A and B are shown apart, each in its own frame.
Chain A
Amino acid sequence: MNFALTDDQIMIRDAAESFLADVADSAAVRKAAADPRGYDEAAWRRIAGELGWCGIPVPEAHGGLGLGAVELMLVQEQIGRRLLPSPFFATVCLAATVLREVASDAAQAEFLPRIAAGALRASAPLPSDAGGWTAAASMLRATPESGHWRLQGVAERLPDAQDAELLLLFAETADGPGLFAVPAESQGLQVVTAEGWDGTRRFSRVLLDAVLPDAARIDEARRADGYARSFALAQLYVAAEQLGAAQQCLDLTVAYTATRKQFGRAIAGFQAVKHRCAEMMVRIEALRSAVYGAAAQAAGDAGVASLQLECAMAKALGSDALFACAQEAIQLHGGVGFTWEYDPQLYFKRAQASSHWLGSADALREGIAGRLLAPDNTPPAMAV
């Protein structure tokens, strides 16, 4: 039992931290968010190229690094700190994870090497329903027609899909939900992108009335657990971003209060200010413990049931902690905290937007309670 990061993990984290300090300061992030693409193409090319981040969760057999949830979590934490707008989250944390956990060997062999090489931008839905991907399937229907599939309906809330080449869509079929690999270039497909308050991550809806080849359906019957596993992992990666973002709210606040003087002294010296920063740190370290713990479970041999609980926990705590820290950052900055110019507003908007991704804290807690209070409950729910 050892919770320490390995040297390699520390190296990955530190490299991510220094790279992002270079390419994703506040000015760069604001510029990228305003770009027609929604991200900085040069930074993405380096992430996808020399840094090799896209290969982190991809098995070596598919040209990846064969690393796992811990390494991806560490990178996500750093990305969250900077609110880096990038296809990375949608491509690697969502699409590659869904492919790994749900798709057939053939589909994995087709797409994962291209993702690992940074040669393919992909997206998949990021629903606001705690119940799993099936909610994402309900508005899209797939019907078999001689030798091909017809997909009709809407897929909602695809992050950074405005510029993706591959869309992974969940659709209702006669035998339950299925996973479809849909090239963004397909005929009969329209991507409608909205610009939200949180400019650092765009969401699209995809309108479809498209005919796709038979091979477009890529889910694998024996990986039925994969739906729940990939959903849980995605929650973990969002929670890791929230952790990084919350940490940045605290760092900004500690730095600002150390220099801002009122009543003849730095406001950091007032106990009301100190205590609220300390409370931010308590929430952040608690969240860090939860995120690290859930990642260690994911990298270990946790069964799907406990993985779901652990990741739901991390995401629920992440939503609450980030919002609390973002609103404190505004408050403790005073008037400048209310301006467009200072950064707390960016984190505040991300806090609200991400609060419901893959389930709001309330919904996730209700799910956990359902498990703890189920009539037949014995471990794993209570296992410590």
Chain B
Amino acid sequence: MNLQSTAADEAFRNDIAAWMRAHLVGEYAAIRHRGGPGDEEADPALRKAWERELAKGGWTCVGWPREFGGRGLSIEQQVIFHEEYARAGGPGRMGHIGEGLIGPALIQYGSAAQKQEFLPGIVAGTTFWAQGYSEPGAGSDLANVQTRAERQADGSWKVTGQKIWTSLAHESEWIFVLARGEAGTKGNKGLVFLLLPLAQPGIEIRPIRQLGGGSEFNEVFFDGAVARAEHLVGAVGDGWKVAMGLLEAERGTSTLGQQMHFLHELELVIAAARATGQDRNPGIRQRIAQAWMGLRVQRYNALRMLSGESTTLRREALIGKYYWSNWHRDLGKLAMDILGPLGDVPSDDPAIRPLQQLFFFSRADTIYAGTNEIQLNLIAERGLGMPREARPAVG
């Protein structure tokens, strides 16, 4: 066990901090600490320009292998990158679905032609992606997707059905879709994983208004939308494998960057407590200390995860999502309890707005990417070997 970092790591840390200081300025200063879940409507156009700025510096896809346009950073360096990016107030990444989900999936399962066609646009920050998994009848039970994909004579696919809760579809050029490619199949059999351009006649995107007022996600309707033959990832029937592999691709290196952002939020919460005099309220003091402890736990838990401390069970990895999402939700409630009546009115005040967004958006943290209940099923089944649910649980 060793918490020290090497001189080379420190030099690398300084490089990133210096780059961020030099580039997150001018017009980009307006999007410092902006964007990300709950704040996706903060100037998307400027945040896309920022993606291209990052790309010019070689700071997109830093963990991808060099042969695919990445920077080939080690795990330690990726952690340092994400930490320094967040510490500098780096905007929530518009490109995260491409960089973190579909890119790694194509690297693992895609054809040479697919890699060549799609990876460069992700690396350059010019192509944005949406994730078309959930459907009205397939949420936690994702294997129940009913969207149909029918193979045409020319080998292309005709897609009919509905996706829902599709984040950022309205800001994206492409969508990857899990659909039923073999009529009459059930569950995770017979599925296909397809790539479709969103701008086509058979696709309609309708925004869904969220409880916080914004519309970061959508319904996406497919009515004879076309996916070209060469845009099937893997073989027919491989859809489930690709879809699940993609969810596991995220190796946790960005977790420490997320924590840096959480630290920023905790600092805002503490500032609010000072400003309102709630820093003298004994109950609030307890909760602030508890929040700080929870953040330390997340950091150490991530360090355990990255160093593979428990090689077989990976218990720390299993609890990660449940722990951070519930912690974050509690932080949102603490923030609003500190603000009291100040929190009740929608605000543009930079000391209040982010806390309101935190309060509302964090309700989603325990729903997407595996609800609390599904997480507990997974922990009990995989971590404790307890009996499985009637149907295989989905992560």
Interface size class of B (residues with CB under 8 A): 35 or more
User: Nearest chain A CB to B252's CB is how many angstroms away?
Assistant: 12
Contact surface of A with B, Cβ cutoff 8 Å: 1-6, 9, 70, 250, 254, 257-258, 266, 268-269, 271, 273-275, 277-279, 281-282, 285-290, 292-293, 295-297, 299-301, 310, 313, 316-317, 362, 364-370, 372-373, 381-382, 384
Given known A-B contacts A289-B316, A297-B3, A278 and B383 have beta carbons under 8 A apart:
yes
The secondary structure that dominates the B interface is helix
Is B323 among interface residues, defined by CB-CB distance under 8 A? yes
Q: Show 26 A/B contacts (Cβ-Cβ < 8 Å), sorted by A.
A: A1-B76, A1-B79, A3-B307, A3-B309, A4-B307, A70-B1, A274-B376, A274-B377, A275-B373, A275-B377, A275-B380, A282-B379, A285-B316, A286-B294, A286-B301, A290-B297, A296-B1, A310-B296, A313-B292, A316-B293, A365-B285, A366-B285, A369-B286, A373-B273, A373-B288, A384-B296
Q: What are the nearest 3 A-B pairs in CB distance?
A: A293-B300, A369-B285, A365-B289
Instruction: Check A382 against B297 for contact (C-beta < 8 Å).
Output: no
User: Nearest chain B CB to A371's CB is how many angstroms away?
Assistant: 9
Given known A-B contacts A292-B300, A296-B1, A384-B259, A282 and B286 have beta carbons under 8 A apart:
no
Counting chain A CB atoms within 10 Å of each CB, which of B1, B273, B385, B387 scores highest? B1
Chain B residues closer than 8 Å to A300, beta-carbon distance? 2-4
Is B306 among interface residues, defined by CB-CB distance under 8 A? yes
Given known A-B contacts A2-B1, A278-B379, A290 and B315 have beta carbons under 8 A apart:
no
Is B308 among interface residues, defined by CB-CB distance under 8 A? yes
- Please name the residue on chain A nearest to B262 by beta carbon: A384
Chain B residues closer than 8 Å to A369, beta-carbon distance? 285-286, 288-289
B 262-274 to A, binary, CB cutoff 8 A, 1 in contact else 0: 0100110010011
Instruction: Check B383 against A281 for contact (C-beta < 8 Å).
Output: yes
Counting chain A CB atoms within 10 Å of each CB, which of B5, B9, B290 scores highest? B290
Q: Which of A3, A5, A9, A70 contacts B300 (CB 8 A)?
A: A3
Chain A residues closer than 8 Å to B318, beta-carbon distance? 281, 285
Chain A residues closer than 8 Å to B383, beta-carbon distance? 278, 281
Is B319 among interface residues, defined by CB-CB distance under 8 A? yes
Task: State in angstroms the CA–CA spacing of A273 and B376 once bound together.
Answer: 11
Instruction: Check B301 against A382 for contact (C-beta < 8 Å).
Output: no
User: Nearest chain B CB to A344's CB is how many angstroms away?
Assistant: 17
Task: State in angstroms the CA–CA spacing of A287 and B323 once bound together.
Answer: 12
Is B158 among interface residues, defined by CB-CB distance under 8 A? no
Instruction: Check B384 against A6 for contact (C-beta < 8 Å).
Output: no
Task: State in angstroms the CA–CA spacing of A293 and B303 once bound together.
Answer: 9
